[in-house]
Amino acid sequence: MIGIVDYGMGNLGSVTNAFRYLGLDARIVAEKGGMESCRALVLPGVGAFGDCMEHLAGHGFADALGDWVAAGKPLMGICLGLQVLFDGSEESPGVPGLSIFPGSVRRFQLPKALKVPQIGWNRMAQSRPDCPMFEGIDDGAFFYLVHSYYVSPEEPSLVAGTTEYGIDYCSCVWKENVFATQFHPEKSQAAGLRMLRNFWEWAEAQ
């Protein structure tokens, strides 16, 4: 079973519905004790970085997620669920992230012709075509995004995919048992659904 982490904010309905559409067993986990019965976790997220970290800590997930990753168990982050994996964000100065990966989250500084937040469909170029979550997905496939901030990893090898929006930025990371995307696979039609199935199959094989 895949657990979808419910810490009081996040796009739980669309993520849950996507797994159900695929016929895969995924359930909402509202307390850290529920993680024990899960093979893998999905950390979704919408909203502000600081609020997210406050809710994760308040629901007991902040430390539990660090322990989960350290134990080598599969984790997938989506949107804000990607950003909180890093050390901190310009959106919420002074608020520490989970620090699973070294790096920061930056706000887009773009020409006025490009709107912030970026809302809509954009391509992802595969920096790590060996990533198992890309199986059956074309390089340059379109995914759906809604965000004003992007991750800036300190380790170049973390970058699994990039997207161009005024700048080339990291839109996907992968290292060992952790995979995360800035875009929303659950809202990205065929390519996104394939990515969720790939994550399921990868987690099953771990």
Average pLDDT over residues 1-22: 89
Average pLDDT over residues 51-64: 93
- Can the peptide bond before residue 117 be classed as cis, meaning omega within 30 degrees of 0? yes
CATH of the domain at 201: 3.40.50.880
Task: Give the residue among 68, 43, 67 at the shortest CA–CA distance from 55.
Answer: 43
pTM as predicted: 0.96
Query: Rounded to whole angstroms, how far apart are CA atoms 108 and 147?
Result: 9
Query: How confident is the model at residue 45, as a pLDDT?
Result: 85
Contact 145, 116 (CB under 8 A): no
Query: Rounded to whole angstroms, how far apart are CA atoms 91 and 104?
Result: 10
Query: Rounded to whole angstroms, how far apart are CA atoms 47 and 35?
Result: 23
Distance of CA 19 to the CA centre of its chain: 15
User: What is the number of domains present in the chain?
Assistant: 1
At residue 164, does pLDDT exceed 90?
Answer: yes
Contact 45, 81 (CB under 8 A): yes
Chain position carrying tokens 């070294």 = 102
Average pLDDT over residues 150-163: 98
Query: How confident is the model at residue 10, as a pLDDT?
Result: 65
Q: pLDDT tens digit string along 185-199?
A: 999 999 999 999 999
Q: pLDDT tens digit string along 21-49?
A: 999 999 999 998 999 999 999 999 888 99
User: Which H or E run contains 12?
Assistant: helix 12-21
Distance of CA 29 to the CA centre of its chain: 17
Q: pLDDT tens digit string along 65-99?
A: 999 999 999 999 999 999 999 999 999 999 999 99
Cα torsion angle, 25, 29, 32, 34, sign: negative
Residues in the chain: 206
Which residues does the annotation mark as catalytic?
79, 184, 186
Whole domain around residue 100: which residue ranges? 2-205
Average pLDDT over residues 11-22: 90
Average pLDDT over residues 174-178: 97
